[in-house]
Amino acid sequence: MAVIPGAKELLAIFGGKPVRSTLLPYGRQTVTEEDIAAVAATLRSDWLTTGPKVAEFEEAFAAKVGAKFAISFSSGTAALHAAVFAAGLKQGDEAITTPLTFAATANCILYQGATPVFADVHADTLNLDPDQVRIRITRNTKAILPVDYAGHPAELESFLKIAEENDLTVIEDSAHALGAEYKNRFVGSIAHMTVFSFHPVKHLTTGEGGMVTTDSEKFAENLRCFRNHGISSDARDRQAKGQWFYEMVVLGYNYRLTDIACSLGIPQLQRLDANLARRREIAKRYSTAFQAVPGVMVPNVRDEVRHAWHLYPIRLDLEKLTASRGEFFKALRAENIGVNVHYIPVHLHPYYQQRFGYRGGEYPVAERAYDRLISLPMFHGMSDQDVADVVLAVTKVAAAFVHEP
């Protein structure tokens, strides 16, 4: 346990007064009266699912990101699974992705009987490194799944070039990056398929939900079929045409997003620009405040992108601190700052270790980052006082744990 010098302010974890009296979560949804009214109107309508609000939400979403097609799903994980299916992955195939992500990014590859192959990340952005991807391509590789970590777009131009050279599909996991831009283009209009999540901590929420955007009509048809049990038509179309006949043409799933959820998503989408602006304002305040805090490293943002700031992950310079990441984390939680860690590298989860034999040490950049990462509260509903509390708590804890000169 680190020793707190007497001259430092006593941390809450050691009996001092916490910065906040109540816990500030790392993320949460914002639901307005407009949202509630929209959902209530759908509940009073004829369609609770497979109805007109689904198409309305999809069309608005596609227009927002600049894609030809947007296909909604019951969750971001379902959307990932559908994208991997649409790309044609099957048993014996491989897809390359990052270890520094939520497990769903790799799990969706397993769902299709294919094998996830990990490649290490860049030290600055913590996004998948294209050079590491290149050396892992085999004759079995069929797709690349880069992740826009924390909301910073991956190097899409490089991945699309690799894909063209090797006849691969790029499936961008953009669960963190709705509204982000890469070289003046919106994420969602660049990769072969881009996957979004509408979990409550994301930029907009439908409760649970996801979306895949694409410019490919073939991918769009496969995605729609897959989310609807593999049936080639939907109930609304059949009712409009006065038909009953339908055919199941592939093995699909019930991954449909409801009209209830879409009616929540539509007004949320209309506020996306304001939500992004607030997140960027909070990130700027954090980065300015922490530049001079010993032991705290702020996220790097490359010049060619506009960050969406789903997360604000600091990294600890442990050589300058008397505490481990775990101690620093517990100290912030005691100050009622609801920090989190994103992520345990996927290959270090027991399932992946047991199935594939990972032992740790295979992806040193991702693993070193994991040992130092802490995600600070970041959501567009934060007040200025919430932001000030986070800055004060991080500064207080860092000062208590910094090595004396």
Task: Enumerate the active-site residues.
Answer: 202
Q: How many CB atoms lie within 10 A of CB 360?
A: 11
| Cβ-based neighbour number of residue 396 at 10 Å | 22
Query: Who's near 114: CB < 8 A, 6+ residues apart?
Result: 84, 89, 90, 91, 92, 93, 94, 95, 142
Amino acid letter, residue 112 = Q
SS3 294: coil
CA–CA separation, 307 and 236 (whole Å):
38
Question: DSSP for 158-222?
Answer: HHHHHHHHHT-EEEEE-TT-TT-EETTEETTSSSSEEEEE--TTSSS--SS-EEEEES-HHHHHH
Helix axes 52-65, 259-270, angle to 10 degrees: 30
Query: Can you spell out the DSSP letters for 27-93?
Result: ------HHHHHHHHHHHTSS-SBSSHHHHHHHHHHHHHHT-SEEEEESSHHHHHHHHHHHTT--TT-
Q: How many residues does the chain have?
A: 405
Phi, psi of 9 (to 5 degrees): -65, 135
Pairwise CA distance, residues 203 & 200, whole Å: 8
H or E segment at 383? Answer: none
Which residues are registered as beta bridge partners of 296? 316
Cα separations in angstroms, 160 against 77, 133, 143, 146, 167: 23, 12, 11, 11, 10
The residue type of 223 is L
Dump the DSSP string for 319-341.
Answer: GGBSS-HHHHHHHHHHTTB--B-
The rounded distance, in Å, linking the Cα atoms of 130 and 149 is: 14
Cβ neighbourhood burial of 228 (10 Å; 0-12, 13-18, 19+)? buried
